[in-house]
Amino acid sequence: MGYASTNLLANACNSFLKLSTKVHIMPGMNKLDIASRAKILSMLCEGASMRSVSRLADVSFNTVAKLLVDAGRFCAGYHDAKVKGVKAKRVQVDEIWSFTYAKQKNVKFAKRAPDGAGDTWTWSAIEAQTKLIISHFVGSRDGDCAAWFIQDVADRVVTRIQLTSDGHKAYLDAVEGAFGADIDYAMLVKLFGASPETAKGRYSPAECTGTFKTAITGRPDMDHVSTSYSERANLTMRMHNRRFTRLTNAFSKKFENHAHMVAIYAVWYNWIRIHKTLRVTPAMAAGLSQVVMDWSDIIALMDAEAPKPGPRGPYKK
């Protein structure tokens, strides 16, 4: 073997050793350690795309995708188990738009469009004082999804609440079916003017020319009829989730992965992220937690509930 070939082989071995020290594998199993997985989930919740995370963390794209699914399933169950018996006062609900695989108008022209392709709406309910995300749901913007979402909110609160929504008519039947008369419910309807010629074809909505408040059920305090907190929470969700970014190719390709990312974001928002105004996490403000958690704590809980790896079964063709 020549001198040049020897140098090439040595350089390749050194490069492999350097790369192998970047990612730590848990002993006894083919799984990243807690610190590496915490770094990946943290980047996903800070607006990074899956491919950029795979480059920054020096792992494969499939590793990031598998962690997204595993963490999304656990976070959905964790939220469902922990966010119960909420003593809320004023709750605001809203929906935020995104799309999966292709925009709704282009689904019929798309090749191999999966189930759930098209417009995807994320419903969320936030408590005005503690900023706690009480419920979240990913689906369409129809009456069935509204009924499921509002019923989930009703199942998680134990006090009489004042609920504020926008003028979406699907809320009317959903709120009546979930709460009956045991609620103070009002709608905040916004009035928009005609879009100027320079704004046509853009994502920005028309200028809001005014609002009016309508009491629907009970005796809501009209001074607190507002959707400002829910709309601000939607902005935070859009800024911290690459899947919600407009005019990019980072949109969700699968409906299930979109729902997994929303579940991960909700746990990060409620238990990990310290709210700037509250100076604690929303879960602490709502009395659901005593300490500020981080992704290492969540991953440790996820590993504790994961099934233990056993011996491999017989090979089947």
Contact 205, 192 (CB under 8 A): yes
Strand extents, DSSP E, 170-249: 184-192, 208-217
pLDDT digits (tens, 9 = 90+) for 278-300: 999 999 999 999 999 999 999 99
- Residues 189-204: tens digit of each pLDDT: 887 777 666 655 566 6
Q: What is residue 74's predicted lDDT score, i.e. its pLDDT?
A: 97
Q: How far apart are CA 216 and CA 181, in angstroms?
A: 10
Nearest to 170 by CA among 145, 151, 204: 145
Separation in Å, CA 239 to CA 5, 20, 235, 286: 50, 33, 6, 24
Tell me the pTM: 0.85
Q: Distances in Å between the alpha carbon of 3 and those of 7, 8, 9?
A: 6, 9, 10
Instruction: State whether the Cα torsion 231-235-241-245 is positive or negative.
Output: positive
CA 189 and chain centroid, separation: 26
Query: What tens digit of pLDDT does each residue of 114-162 get?
Result: 888 999 999 999 999 999 999 999 999 999 999 999 999 999 999 999 9
Please write the tens of the pLDDT for every residue from 305-317.
887 766 767 766 6
pLDDT reading at 1 higher than 50: no
pLDDT of 240 strictly over 80: yes
Complete domains list, the chain, with CATH: 23-305 (3.30.420.10)
Bridge partners for 59 per DSSP: none
